[in-house]
Amino acid sequence: MSAIRKVWERDELLVALNLYHKLTFGQLHHRNPAIIALAEKLGRGANSVAMKLNNFASLDPILQMRGIKGLQGASALDRTVWAEFHESPAEAVAASEEGLRALFEADPESEVEVVPKEGIRVMRLPTGPTSVTTEVKIRRGQSYFRNAVLNNFGGRCGVTQLDIRELLIASHILPWGKYPAERLNVRNGLCLSRLHDAAFDLGLIAFDDDLRLLLSPRIKAALPQKIIADTFATYAGQPLVLPADAIPPDPEFLRWHRIESNFV
């Protein structure tokens, strides 16, 4: 007698899709600690969750452009949830983050962080919760974006390879306030150290079409200072470091940043 197959429900798929976007394609396997952690909370096997994430991969246009097909068993509900998630990302991401938080019993003063090599952990925030619904949605979106971008870069600064997660920032290339449609787009994100994030945000550094670090005249003028030489000049002209299966930043977004920062 065969075991009864547990049908995936919409809320479960939404949380699984949340995790999908926080992992690279090469991490979508049953041995990944984050997949194991989610599977335990869903009452499913890690193989089942990994297969579902690979079903989602078959629907991902970015992977399709790279010739990656994923598993071809996506259900009609998989396709519906995928479409909903990407047609209304602000609402869908907030809902998926809330679903993930509920599974891991995160209180309002905590954040849920996906760390591929460790699993899924609940971290206490230094500040209290917000009470305004809109602000909560924004914070959920920011948490999702941070996890997706940091993991896309392998949990390391793309410039220096610093891997202390607390010192890393998910930088928006197109500003959060000016481009709401790209707020949650992983291709609009760079994983940078706090120092390099500040420099990027102020237009003191930029990246060319080949993702190589460019220094502004102001940074170059300060090169006699050891900290500037060590943290900026050392990496000038070197490309951002990303995992082989990472989704690269959008070159059009980087070009916009160079124009705004007077690099071209």
**Could you please report the per-residue DSSP string of 171-204?**
EESS-TTT-GGGTT-GGGEEEEEHHHHHHHHTTS
DSSP-derived secondary structure letter, 165: G
Confidence (pLDDT) at 71: 92
Task: Give the pLDDT of residue 4.
Answer: 58
φ, ψ dihedrals at 123, nearest 5°: -120, 135
Contacts of 119 (CB under 8 A, 6+ apart): 33, 34, 36, 37
Paired sense of beta strands 168-172 and 110-115, if any: unpaired
In this structure, the number of other CB atoms found within 10 A of the CB of residue 196 comes to 25
Tokens of 133: 């619904």
What pLDDT is recorded for position 131? 40
Distance (Å, whole) CA 24 – CA 251: 20
Kindly report the number of other CB atoms within 10 A of residue 201's CB atom. Answer: 16
The pLDDT score that the predictor gives to residue 133 is: 47
Rg of the Cα atoms in the chain: 19
DSSP state of 6: -
Give the sign of the dihedral formed by CA 177, CA 181, CA 183, CA 187: negative
How far apart (Å, rounded) are the C-alpha atoms in residues 99 and 94? 9
**Residue 128 CA to its chain's centroid (Å):** 24
Question: What is the structure's pLDDT at 30?
Answer: 96
CB contact set of 259 (below 8 Å; sequence gap of 6+)? none
Q: What pLDDT does residue 139 have?
A: 82
Taking each helix axis as running N to C, give the angle between helix 76-87 and helix 10-20, from 0 to 180 degrees, rounded to the nearest 10: 60
| Per-residue model confidence (pLDDT) at position 6 | 84
What is residue 191's predicted lDDT score, i.e. its pLDDT?
98
So what's the pLDDT on residue 127? 52
pLDDT 10s per residue in the chain (264 long)? 344 578 999 999 999 999 999 999 999 999 999 999 999 999 999 999 999 999 999 999 999 988 988 998 899 999 999 999 999 898 999 999 999 999 999 998 889 999 999 999 998 765 544 444 457 778 888 999 999 999 999 999 999 999 999 999 999 999 998 999 999 999 999 999 999 999 999 999 999 999 999 999 999 998 889 989 999 999 999 999 999 999 999 999 999 999 999 996
Give me the phi and psi of 207, to 5 degrees please.
-135, 140
